[in-house]
Structures are given as structure tokens and as C-alpha cells.
Amino acid sequence: MSLVLLLRLGVVLSAVYCLITLTVLIARTFSFGRPPRYAKAQGSAAKGIVYAFGQGMLPWEKESASKHLPTFFAGILYHAGIFAAIFFLITALLLIKLPDVAIRIVRLIAVIGLLSGIGLLVKRFALPYMRFISCLDDYIANILVGLLLLFTLLATYHYVLQFALMAVAIVLLLYIPVGKIRHCVFFFYSRILFGTFFGRRGTLPHPSIED
Amino acid sequence: MSEEAKKDPYEEHMRALTSTELAKAMQTFCDKIEFGDAAQLNSCVHCGLCTDTCHYYLASGELEALPAYKLNLVSAVFKNQHTRLGKIAPALTGAEALDAEMVSRWIDSLYGRCTLCGRCALNCTLGINISRLIRLARTTLASVNLVPPELQSTVSTAVDKGNNMGIPRQEWFDTLQWLDEELQQEVSDPSAHLPIDQPNTRLFYTVNPREPKFFPLSLLATAKIFHAAGESWTFSSDYYDVTNYGLFSGDDQASGVISARLRDSMHKLRANTLVLGECGHGYNANRWEAPEWLAGAYGFEVKSILEIIADYIRQGRIKLDRSRNQKRVTLHDPCNLVRLGGIIEEQRFILKRAVSDFVEMYPNREQNFCCGGGGGQLSMTRFAKRRIESGRIKAEQIRATGAQIVVAPCHNCIDQLSELNKEYKLGVEIKTVSEMVADALIIER
């Protein structure tokens, strides 16, 4: 079996492992149970959830974003880079040849994502309060994703570097379920729970103002 | 540690925790975790964007006050118990066992640097309900009698004596009788009075015991409004305490006992609506948490007095003359009533009709800053210095408005704001919404 085939198989198997492990993790999380809620709702949980994934994601709706705009946008660009890298990795696995324009777009998003990721990592290292709340997992996750973005960028220039990209992808996929990157699934649950909580209570979306 | 701290039985208990107690605490922690808690304990990415949302951190700059750190303390124990990597390689994910050292950090940060105000939760980029998870840790500590004794004493007094100030029944009667006379003079109507144990009324009104004890004129203000509206209402002779400090101590069992009394009084009096007086946490506890503690839906309406007063105005049942309140007024939004309670616009609707010059402080509504008096902090004297320091953020908000009166629909907030008024030399009056309305009330004789 050639190295390229081995790496492709490795990525697929580690992706399957990642999906299965995350599914088990979600099932275990559900096993904690959820008692019924008895207090009569004042607002709407559904509207709260729509707010949580819509208006509530806008920077001016959250002080955490409005007061930290560079970090907020770095985070968005970082994640955009990750999605571009995943897209490029899938095309590489399926041996799809991307048109030049698509490669240039992937390259641009990956480089911006990489720079954003480096910026976030530097911030984590440099600021005392960030170091105080960080653990090893935070640095590992950031470095692994940074490597994925770096090798995505390099692989857009030379086919051979796709091997390195796949090797990094295997490590990353194996790491996702055990480290903080698991938030890729729990993010959605957290936002749903956020919307449900504040929606039922009538806090969000903002009630209309009666003059 | 000081000599005094060494002699503190609470500190001694904390240091000498047995393995049985730690196991019991861990069991409680695991038993109380729901699906949502587990999902959120797996979610934090340590982005640090919650930093500026906490008044403790803003005021002190102490890293132990960071919301993400406080959440870390809870998630560390969760990871250690419920994740593979947390068990195999705890240092990698920040997992830690619930030992005496961790308990000490929990008490210091989760009781001592948090008012459970929920501002970090509202602003968390992922939407993690940090204050709920901190209360979960408090519940864990409560299961092994590690609630700070001053807070526990407030809860125990409520459980043992029927109200958190231990007001004897006769004193309650005497206060109401005296207020009866005052009300009759105020409204020039000898038939006006504060009813007690009247069955089948529309409203059963509950109050913070601080009102009969220290602020009876605030009770009088509400009675005057009820009188003007021609309301059918009553107090209860036995259980009338709207507060429930079990919400803050984390003791679900005591919380349930206290809540059940108001529910049972409702049934005994056969009233239609349980009306919660101006008390932020009392509203959150009785409106939102009590049905969960008692595991059953209430078969009656639960409303804030602010909703009732706003309805009186909308329905024309009371008339107000805002020119009677000429001073500049600003509004403090109690966290448990507004952000966690959903009562956001009613108080504004009322004040705009009761005062001539109303100004908002910024930020406001669900984004308000906690005054520092919530979460049981007013009871926990051991953390009083931090409480006053954390209130600096609220004091600066108030000063920026140039207001002469701060209205706060919460007696806990009023106590804290009164202390801030002295400490930060704000020179303001602090009043309830009912007091402002009563001052503007047009009594038709």
C-alpha cells in the first residue's frame, strides 16, 4: 500500500473514530437526564433559541464580543479557516481537483485563519489572565489546528505537502473527542440551552418597550 | 491565616474534611448534574471573553474572580470524575479531584466572589449558564454543611421561624395594626386597612421581612396602592416571607421547604394570584425555581407586584401625578428580577408615569451590573469587604446618571445600595417602585 493511500485511509478511519467517540460522548451526556420543567413559561423557548443562533451571535448583542472586537473577529476568521481546511482536506481525500480560483480562496481564508489562530495563541501566552484560565489542552488544541491551517496553506502550493496535511488531520481527529475541540458539538447544545433558559423566562429576545 | 480564622469552626471544618464527607459531596455533585449541565461543562473553550462581565473582577482585578476561573473550578471536578482524559491525564485538561484544597477554593471563589447574578452567562460566547453551575457547586457544599455559617443562619431562621428575620407573629400583627392607622390617615378613609388571612381574595401579597422590621413605610406604600385600586388582597398571618436564601446557599431541600409554605398558604387562603413583593431573588426563587424544587406546576398565577401595578395603570385603576416626583430618578435592575426573572419593562412603564425626570443608567435591563448584594453576600459577613469593593461598578453607574433618587425594586439591593451610598458618597435617596408610585398617587376622596 502506498503512503498516500495509507494516509487517506488513516484520515477516513480517524474521522470515523472521531464521529463514533463524539456520538458516545453525547449519549453519555444525555444519560445525565433532564427532569421536566414545571414553572410556567413567560416567554418562548423557541424564540430564545432562534435568538441564540441569530441576533444573539451579533457582536453588539454580547458585551463579551463588543468589548473584545479583535478577538471576536479573530475567532470568526480562525473558524472560517478551519472550515476552509476541512473543505480542502475532503477534496484531497476524494482526489477532486479544485479550480485555481477555489484554491486561491482556500489559500486566502487559510492564511487569514492561521494568522488569527497565531494571534489568539499569542494572546493566551502573553496575557496573565489568559494563562491563568488556560490548561495544556488549550495550547495543544490551538497548535494542532494551527498546523492544520499551515499545511492546508502549504498543500495548496505543492501536492506532496498534502501528505503532511493528512498526517496532521489524523492526529487532530483523534484528539478532538478528548480535548476542548469537542465544543464543536457541545457549542450547539449550549446555545440551545441558553436560548431555552432566557427565552422561557422572557428575558431574550428583548421584550418590546411600552412607552 | 489569622488566629481568628484558625479558631473559626467553619474554617476548621473545611480543613478537616473526612473522606466520607468528600465522598458524600462528590455523590451530590454527580446526582445533581443534568444533561444541560454536563453539556455545558464540556463546552468552555477558555476564550476569556467573559472577563469584563463580572463586577468582582472589574472592581478588584483578582484572577480568582474571573468567571472562566470560577467555571473551571466546577468543570475541573466534572472532568476528573466524568471524562477519560480527566482521569488518565488530569493535568492535560485541568481536571482536579474534589479534595479539601479544592473545597477551600470553591468556598473562596464560588461563595466569596460570586453573586449568582448571571451576567457572565448572558454574555458567554458559547452561552454557558455559569451561575447555574456555580450554584450546583454550592449545592454540593451544602450537602456537607459547608454553607458559610452566616448565610446558613439566614436559611435556618427562615426554616425554623417561618421568616428569615425571625419576626414573631405578634410583632407582625402589631406592625400591621399600626400601619392600618397610618393608612387610614394617609387616605382619609377609616375603612382602609391591611387585610390579614382574608380568604378568597384575588391577591395574596408576600413581602421581604425587612419591610415590617425596618421599612414599614414601604409596606404602607403598597397598601396605599392596593387601596386606591380597590384591590381584593390579603397578607397571611403565618407565612408571608417572599425571600428564599436557599437559592443562594444551594440547599435545594431547605429551598423546597420555604417555597412550599407560600404554596400551601395560597391553597389555604384560596387566593387567585401569588404576588411577590419587591424582592429580586424572591421573585426568581418563587416564580422560576420553586416549582422545580417542589417538582410540580403551580395551579395558580405567580406575579411580581410590578406587573400588578403596571396593570393598574394600564386599566386606569390608579391615577398618577408625575409632577409630585420632581427629582431626577434612575433605576437599578435587580439581577434576579430582570436578567434571571424576565421582569424588564414593567418598572420602566411605571416610573415613566410616576416621576418627572427618569434617566437610565448604562448598561441597563438584562445587561445591568449587579449591585453586589445578591448571591447571599449581604449575609456572608466574612466576604463583606469584597462585596463593598465589587459594588464600585454600580456606584460609578449611579454617579454617572446625576440622579438624586435610585429606585430599586429589591430590598436586598436597597441594603447594598445604602451601603454603597455611604461608602462611595453618592448622596442619593434609595426607594422602591411602590414608594415612588405611592408618592404620585392621586387619591380620589
Q: What is the mean pLDDT of chain B?
A: 95
Residue B257: CA count within 13 A, CB half-sphere = 15
Q: List chain B residues with CB under 8 Å of A42.
A: 342
> Which of A35, A72, A209 is opposite residue B34, by nearest beta carbon?
A35
Q: List chain B residues with CB under 8 Å of A28.
A: 38, 82
A42 contacts B127? CB cut-off 8 A: no
Tens digits of residue pLDDT in B423-433: 999 999 999 99
A186 contacts B35? CB cut-off 8 A: no
A133 contacts B46? CB cut-off 8 A: yes
Tens digits of residue pLDDT in A65-76: 999 999 999 999
Tracing cell 488544541 back to the chain, one arrives at A141
Candidates A62, A73, A174: best to mutate against B (most CBs of B within 10 A) is A62
A35 contacts B35? CB cut-off 8 A: no
pLDDT beyond 80 at A183:
yes
Q: List chain A residues with CB under 8 Å of B34.
A: 32-35
CATH 3.40.50.10700 segments of chain B: 316-440
Domain ranges in chain A?
3-19+70-198
Q: List chain A residues with CB under 8 Å of B288.
A: 39, 201
B52 contacts A193? CB cut-off 8 A: no
CA distance A131 to A117: 16
Q: List chain A residues with CB under 8 Å of B35.
A: 29-34
What local confidence, expressed as pLDDT, does residue A2 receive? Answer: 86
User: Three cell numbers at B7?
Assistant: 479558631
Name every residue whose Cβ is closer than 8 Å to that of residue A19 and which is 6 or more positions away in sequence: none
Cα angle, residue B14 at apex, residues B12 and B17 outer, rounded to 5°: 100
B237's torsion region: left (phi>0), alpha (psi -120 to 50) or beta? Answer: alpha
* Minimal CA separation from A102 to chain B, in Å: 31
A75 contacts B52? CB cut-off 8 A: no
Using a pLDDT cut of 70, give the percent of chain B over it. 98
> Which of A25, A40, A64 is opposite residue B50, by nearest beta carbon?
A64
Name every residue whose Cβ is closer than 8 Å to that of residue B152 and which is 6 or more positions away in sequence: B145, B249
User: Three cell numbers at A32?
Assistant: 445525565
> Which of A38, A63, A191 is opposite residue B292, by nearest beta carbon?
A38
User: Three cell numbers at B315?
Assistant: 386599566
Candidates A57, A62, A64: best to mutate against B (most CBs of B within 10 A) is A64
A135 contacts B35? CB cut-off 8 A: no
Tens digits of residue pLDDT in A72-97: 999 999 999 999 999 999 999 999 99
For residue B386, CA distances in Å to B44, B110, B255 come to 26, 13, 26
**CB-CB contact of A112 with A67 (8 Å):** no
pLDDT beyond 70 at B445:
no
pLDDT beyond 70 at B196:
yes
Which H/E stretch holds residue B405? strand B405-407
Q: List chain A residues with CB under 8 Å of B48.
A: 71, 124, 127, 129-130, 133
Tracing cell 429589591 back to the chain, one arrives at B410
Chain B nearest-CA residue for A121: B47
B50 contacts A198? CB cut-off 8 A: no
Q: List chain A residues with CB under 8 Å of B91.
A: 135-136
Using a pLDDT cut of 90, give the percent of chain B over it. 95
Which H/E stretch holds residue B406? strand B405-407
A183 contacts B39? CB cut-off 8 A: no
* Minimal CA separation from A172 to chain B, in Å: 15
Chain A nearest-CA residue for B351: A211
B85 contacts A38? CB cut-off 8 A: no
Q: What's the topology of domain B3-146?
A: Fumarate Reductase Iron-sulfur Protein; Chain B, domain 2 (1.10.1060)
Tracing cell 414593567 back to the chain, one arrives at B346
pLDDT beyond 70 at A36:
yes
Query: Chains A and B: how many Cβ contacts under 8 Å?
Result: 186
The CATH classification number of B316-440 equals 3.40.50.10700
Mean pLDDT of A143-158: 96
What local confidence, expressed as pLDDT, does residue B1 receive? Answer: 46
**CB-CB contact of B280 with B410 (8 Å):** yes
Burial class (CB in 10 A: 0-12, 13-18, 19+), B127: buried
* Minimal CA separation from A134 to chain B, in Å: 6
pLDDT beyond 60 at A63:
yes
User: Three cell numbers at B138?
Assistant: 454550592
CATH 1.10.1060 segments of chain B: 3-146
What local confidence, expressed as pLDDT, does residue B4 receive? Answer: 52
Tens digits of residue pLDDT in B35-80: 999 999 999 999 999 999 999 999 999 999 999 999 999 999 999 9
**Residue B95, number of CB atoms within 10 A of its CB:** 23
Q: List chain B residues with CB under 8 Å of A191.
A: 126-127
pLDDT beyond 80 at A205:
yes
What local confidence, expressed as pLDDT, does residue B85 receive? Answer: 86
What local confidence, expressed as pLDDT, does residue A210 receive? Answer: 72
Among residues B348, B357, B416, B358, the alpha carbon closest in space to that of B383 is found at: B416
